[in-house]
Amino acid sequence: MKPLRGPSFSRWSGTASIRKHPFLANSCNCPTPARFLNTLPETKNEGPLKGVRILDLSRVLAAPLCTQILADYGAEVIKVEDVGKGDDTRYWKVSGEQSAWKDDSGPVSNYFAAVNRNKRSICLNLKDPRGRDIFLQLAKKADVVVDNFRPGALDRLGLGYDVLSTINPRIIHASVSGYGSVGPFSKRAGYDMIAGAEAGLLHLTGERGGPPVRPGLGLTDMCTGLFTHGAILAALYAREITGKGQMVKASLYETQVALLTNVALAWLNLGQEAERWGTQHPSVVPYDAFKTKDLYFVCGATNDSQFRILCKQLGLADLANDPRFTTNADRVKNRDELYPVLNRAFKTKSTDEWIELFEGSGLPYAPINTMERVFEHPQTKATEMVHQLPFDAAKSGQLKLLGPAVKFSGTPASIRTAPPLLGEHTDDILRELELSQGEIDDLHASKVV
């Protein structure tokens, strides 16, 4: 597929340099692969993973988030996409979103943009022998391959870990699936809410006595991406000791079971079934979201001293001396008597009034902010969590992205390029493999790329 229109600021150099990096697959004073040189004018790559090359076969959310974090840390990430289609999330647009994009920009969405910055895109038909050979050429010079196909899918294409490790013994292959590579559900497709239901998360979400509620974000997907990115870093470190790569396997189901933490141990060790608590805490009372005059306000008293302070702030000082509520154990037992009193009190003021009243009290509290309030928040601005980049696909010419969550003192993470358009870097990458223009044109004509 011919690369679609791309932003002129996102270019790569085909020149190689001699340097040694502890994580490079060819770290024996061999030429390093090409990498970002022309970044945003104010941003250069000084990340801790500069020099690490990753082939990203993943799509949707879990694994793309993993590779984006690694890209933010300086890794060179090549996103391998289906010819003519690409990542499914390129088409996942909210109502009215299409009007933000240019008609000739190709498939792009905010969902896709959220987890695919700092990457290059090449379209490859891996079912075609020529497409497979191109991928293997890239894998010879790669440090990491990431995929989220069902277990066995890459093996059937002749691109499994056995093949990859033969041509590149130092390669790390991280595979993310729905349910893992073993067990009766291993062949099932993985979806965030489905895995969250199967592994118990949705049993915990929702109001007391009410139906389950889907979390507002893809938490199982995103946590799987976080676990996988850490596992890849551990495998890269282990490679420096052993000299060999390895297979890393992660799944949505295993991630979500692991995230059950204390709830799981209450069942395993006490036989205690979990309940839905809404925004309440099962063992700390009060700890809840309270309706104010306008929004919601989260507040808690994690010990008896804080409860006395809370009662004073609410104008309910005598409540702290009520024998039903004196200790946390009393309050847990009598929560259904306590919460209606607190609910009535919180409805008497606006959220901002409660914020002013609680400031300096020593109590844990926060408003439940809308997106508008989050991105006008002084803490959001102080931590530079919003970045704006030139983006040719947007009618405004600009794209706002969330910044890296972790800051480094010496090797900073960075946003260097906007998310790629579909196939934007196909020809550049093929030229780096020393294919002639005639060969590249033939591959396009045959729909191999």
- Residues tagged active-site: 221
Collapsing DSSP to helix, strand or coil, 229 comes out as helix
| 418 contacts 68 by C-beta, under 8 angstroms | no
Task: Spell out a b/e string for 367-389, using b for 16 or more CB atoms within 10 Å of the CB, else e.
Answer: beeeeeeeeeeeebeeeebebeb
Omega before residue 286 within 30° of 0, cis:
yes
| Segments of 304-428 assigned E as strands | 365-367, 386-390, 398-402
The torsion region of residue 183 among left (phi > 0), alpha (psi -120 to 50) and beta comes to left
Three-state secondary structure call for residue 325 = coil
**40, 389 Cβ separation under 8 angstroms:** yes
Alpha-carbon distance 159 to 124, whole Å?
13
Q: Which of 2, 8, 87 is nearest to 391 (CA)?
A: 8
The residue type of 363 is L
Matching residue, tokens 């002639």: 436
- 423: tokens are 């196939």
Nearest to 80 by CA among 171, 149, 12: 149
CA distance 381 to 345: 32
Q: Alpha-carbon distance 161 to 181, whole Å? A: 13
The sign of the torsion formed by the CA atoms of 96, 100, 101, 103 equals positive
Q: How far is Cα 154 from Cα 257, in angstroms, rounded to an integer?
A: 26
Contact 74, 52 (CB under 8 A): yes
- Burial grade of 414 (CB within 10 A; 0-12, 13-18, 19 or more): buried
Q: How far apart are CA 209 and CA 84, in angstroms?
A: 48
User: How far, in Å, CA of 400 to CA of 387, rounded?
Assistant: 6
DSSP percent split of the chain into helix, strand, coil, nearest 5: 35, 15, 50
In angstroms, rounded to a whole number, what is the distance separating the alpha carbons of residues 120 and 429? 9
